[in-house]
Each structure stands twice: as C-alpha cells, then as structure tokens.
C-alpha cells in the first residue's frame, strides 16, 4: 500500500504538469515528445537529466583567471569564455583575435599620454616614447613593461654610427623582441607586441619616436627623468653627453655634473647649445618681434637699438643652454659650471649634444568645446 501511494505521486505530478502545458498551448504529442526526450530512458524508467553547464562559482573563477592573464575588460572576457564553452585556453586565443580587431579600430584615436623609457650603457643612451590615450593606462604594469623593453631592445640594436640618431617607429616595428611578463611573454615583433598591449588595455597604443645619443670621445652620457613611476620611466627626459679632451681625466665628476645638467635641461627647456647654433630664421624672427615692441615705446632710434640688444641678450639666456642660469644655483650659468668642472678634472670639458623630450609634445589634442548655454547651465 505504501509503495502504491509512493508510485502514484510522480504520476499525479506528471498529469498535473500535462494539464499546465496544455493550458499554455502544448499538444499532447509535443508533451510526450518532450517527456520522452528529456525524462525517460528506452526501458520506460524515469531518468534525471544532469546539466552540462559550468557551475556559477566556476564561471566566476574562470573569468577572474582569464582577466588576470589578459587584463581585458570583464565584458570581453565573459563573452570569449561563453563563445568557447568556458575553455580558458581557447578563450584566451579568442580574446587575442578580438583584441587585434579592436586595436585596429582604435588606431585613429588620439594617443597623447604615455611614458618615456630610457636605457643606457657607458657610451650610449636611448629614449623611446610609447603613447596611449589616458594616464590611467600609462600606470598599467604591462604598458610600463613594454616601454622599458622597447628602450632596452633599441639600445641592443646595431649601432647606427651617429652621435645623435632620431628614429621613427618603422626603425623598430619589424625587429624581434623577446618578452617575459606574466601577461605578455614569448618572442614576437615590436609591432605585434604593441598591438597586443593595445588589445589588453582597450586603448590606442603607439610607438611614436625615439632618440639615441652616443659619445665616441672620452666622456659620459647622462640622463634624467621627471615624474618617474619606476626607474627608467618618466614623462619628461633630459639626455646629455659630456666629453673631456684629456683621455686620462676622471669620469666620476663628469657623471655627477652630467646628471645635474640633464635635470637642468628638463627644467629650463633650452632650444640651442650655443649662440652660434641659433638658427638664422629664429634669430631674425625674434629681432623683428623685439624691434616692433621697442618702436611702440616712441623712443629715439638709438634707444630702440639698445633696447633690442638688451632684450636679445635676455632671449639667449632663455633658449641657449650655455647662457642659461643654472637651476640649482642661479648665481652662475652653465658655461661657468663647465669651466669649474674643467678645472676640477684638469682637462677642458665640453657638451657634445643634448636632447629634451616630453610625452605628447607636438600632438594635437582634440579640443573640448562647450556651448555658452551649456556653460551657463553648468554655472
């Protein structure tokens, strides 16, 4: 009797379900097919259907692991896992394919943020600029690792045989680079590495330019980076070569003063090394501006010439490195600093070349314009 009551319960449950399905518009044939395909074995026994889907807890774990591997947005990570039936290896490959397409779409967007990376040895220094769209991405460890790796690779490349060697992205793009980062590893080309990082961070990433500074004489290459998130990276860079005539002169003092002048270059923004190297066009343009300003004062011609001469001297102090006041001690200038260094080492010391670079300089940023009405509403 007990068995009969127990057996009747599932049957009554099925009949009740059949009535509900009929109310929803299911035919008896459809319902029988649904039951036979999902709940009954060939021998007529009722079977439990097990789900082949990944449990929710495991899904969250896979999403977390794949995001840690790739840094991709959670939305894209989940979409790739779902499309690959929650296989994390296939999903990672799918994300890379999606990333390449996404990076290509973003390549036209303005990338004016980023970092400068410096790598150097005793005779050479290289600085490269890697751009992105926001300073948030510039703080990303994968982005920073790529910038440092590009500078080191450029330093290890064949010496171009020039004391100052500016290079465009094409100089490095097809070179092979070996990466060793938890999220970015293996051997690939520079261009592919940049594209892969762009896919990871979801922004336009570009290798913009680079400079190599060398010295063949008895001297040193010194550098300084401003706003450094970590050694070898920054937003503004100053590089300089100091050379001593006597090959027996100690280089320790040159290194010390060289680092200080590199910092001065970052702060003072010189355009020329000496007055002799000021371009004729720049000098003529400045003289025209100064003469126009002086003539507006209404003073005699002789006084105007003296005014132009005095202001031109001030112009040289602003843009010529050797004439600039030393930022560490404004009672002296760089020329005097070099003379004192020459006396210290017992040999004449000169500046070979210098470079100043800043992230995003010369890039036109999209202007954010607001209508007067909107500004009034905001106020």
Query: What is the tens place of the pLDDT at every residue in 3-24?
Result: 455 545 554 454 455 455 544 4
Residue range 56-107 forms a domain whose CATH class is mainly alpha
Out of 30-39, 53-62, 322-331, which region has the weakest mean confidence (pLDDT)? Answer: 30-39
Q: Is the CB of residue 248 less than 8 Å from the CB of residue 318? A: no
Q: Is the pTM of this model over 0.85?
A: no
pLDDT score of 1 more than 60: no
Q: Which of 135, 76, 132, 142 is nearest to 106 (CA)?
A: 132
- Residue 354's SS3 state is strand
Give me the chain's average pLDDT, please: 81
pLDDT of 66 reads 79
pLDDT of 48 = 40
Within the chain, all domains assigned CATH 3.30.479.20 are found at 113-278+320-358
Ranges for all domains in the chain classified under CATH 1.10.8.10: 56-107
The architecture (CATH level 2) of 113-278+320-358 comes to 2-Layer Sandwich (3.30)
Residue 301 has pLDDT above 90, yes or no: no
Query: Is the predicted pLDDT of residue 117 greater than 60, yes or no?
Result: yes
């Amino acid at each position: 009797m007990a068995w009969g009551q127990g057996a009747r319960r599932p049957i009554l449950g099925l009949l009740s379900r059949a009535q509900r399905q009929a109310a929803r518009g299911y035919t008896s044939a459809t319902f029988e097919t649904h039951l036979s395909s999902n709940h009954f074995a060939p021998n007529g026994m009722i079977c439990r259907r097990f789900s082949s889907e990944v449990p929710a807890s495991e899904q969250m774990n896979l999403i977390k692991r794949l995001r840690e591997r790739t840094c991709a947005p959670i939305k894209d990570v989940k979409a790739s896992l779902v499309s690959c039936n929650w296989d994390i290896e296939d999903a990672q490959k799918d994300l890379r394919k999606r990333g390449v397409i996404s990076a290509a779409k973003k390549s036209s967007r303005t990338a004016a943020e980023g970092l400068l990376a410096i790598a150097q040895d005793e005779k050479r220094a290289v600085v490269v600029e890697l751009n992105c769209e926001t300073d948030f991405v510039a703080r990303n460890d994968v982005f920073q690792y790529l910038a440092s790796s590009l500078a080191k690779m450029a330093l290890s490349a064949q010496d171009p045989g020039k004391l100052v060697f500016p290079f465009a992205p094409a100089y490095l793009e097809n070179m092979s680079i070996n990466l060793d980062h938890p999220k970015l590893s293996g051997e690939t080309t520079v261009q592919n590495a940049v594209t892969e990082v762009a896919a990871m961070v979801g922004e336009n990433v570009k290798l913009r330019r680079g400079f190599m500074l060398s010295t063949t004489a008895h001297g040193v290459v010194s550098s300084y980076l401003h706003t450094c998130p970590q050694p070898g990276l920054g937003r503004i860079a100053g590089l300089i070569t100091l050379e001593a005539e006597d090959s027996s002169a100690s280089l320790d003092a040159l290194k010390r003063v060289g680092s200080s002048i590199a910092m001065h270059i970052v702060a003072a923004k010189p355009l020329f090394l000496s007055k002799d190297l000021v371009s004729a066009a720049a000098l003529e343009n400045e003289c025209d501006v100064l003469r126009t300003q002086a003539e507006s004062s209404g003073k005699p011609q002789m006084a105007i010439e003296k005014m132009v001469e005095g202001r031109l001297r001030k112009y040289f102090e602003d843009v010529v490195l050797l004439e600039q006041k030393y930022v560490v001690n404004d009672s002296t200038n760089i020329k005097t600093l070099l003379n004192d260094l020459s006396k210290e080492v017992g040999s004449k010391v000169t500046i070979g070349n210098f470079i100043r670079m800043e992230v995003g300089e010369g890039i036109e940023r999209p202007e954010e314009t607001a209508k007067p009405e909107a500004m009034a509403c905001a106020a």
